[in-house]
Amino acid sequence: MEVQIFGHKKSADTRKALRYFAERRIKTHFVDLNERAAAPGELKRFAQRFGVTALIDKDSRAYAGLGLAHARYSDERWLEKLADEPMLLKVPLVRYQQQLTLGVDESTWAAWIKR
């Protein structure tokens, strides 16, 4: 079993996800969004599952700093913005095969491990 985790090293939730899988000796592939942005196709996969607005961290400094509180973008434009500004993403984004989670979702992760 191997999971892919997209996040930021400074994010407490990302560190929690990494620790969760490490404690259970599950191999992880970590993608630090500060070093390498998520591919637009990868973001689309999460957007199809959760919706584009669910991917946006409206409490982040980047969201406030860019003045996006009143922005009215299309879903495609938001996906472009999220690819360009990864600090806007709600993290961690976790993928196991074709299954996805957004944020810390230990109950779903436990179900993946039980299989």
- Is the pLDDT confidence value at 115 over 90? no
End-to-end CA distance of the chain: 10
How far apart are alpha carbons 4 and 30 in whole angstroms?
Answer: 6
How far apart are alpha carbons 40 and 97 in whole angstroms?
Answer: 18
Return the percentage of the chain with pLDDT > 70, whole number.
100
Q: What is the pLDDT of residue 109?
A: 95
- Which of the listed CATH numbers 1.10.10.10, 3.40.30.10, 2.70.170.10, 3.60.20.10 matches domain 2-114? 3.40.30.10
What separation in angstroms does the CA of 112 have from each of 41, 48, 59? Answer: 23, 20, 29
Nearest partner of 56 among 46, 42, 17, judged by Cα: 46
Contacting residues for 29 by C-beta, under 8 A, at least 6 apart: 2, 3, 4, 5
Task: Give mean pLDDT, residues 67-89.
Answer: 88
- Is the pLDDT confidence value at 70 over 90? no
By DSSP bridging, strand 27-32 and strand 2-7 are parallel
Q: What is the pLDDT of residue 67?
A: 87
Q: What is the pLDDT of residue 40?
A: 84
Per residue in 8-55, pLDDT (tens digit) is: 999 999 999 999 999 999 999 999 998 998 888 889 999 999 999 999
Q: What is the pLDDT of residue 64?
A: 87
Kindly report the pTM of this predicted structure: 0.89
Task: Give mean pLDDT, residues 90-113.
Answer: 94
Q: What is the pLDDT of residue 7?
A: 95
Residue 89 is classified by DSSP as: B
Domain positions in the chain are 2-114
Q: What is the pLDDT of residue 105?
A: 94
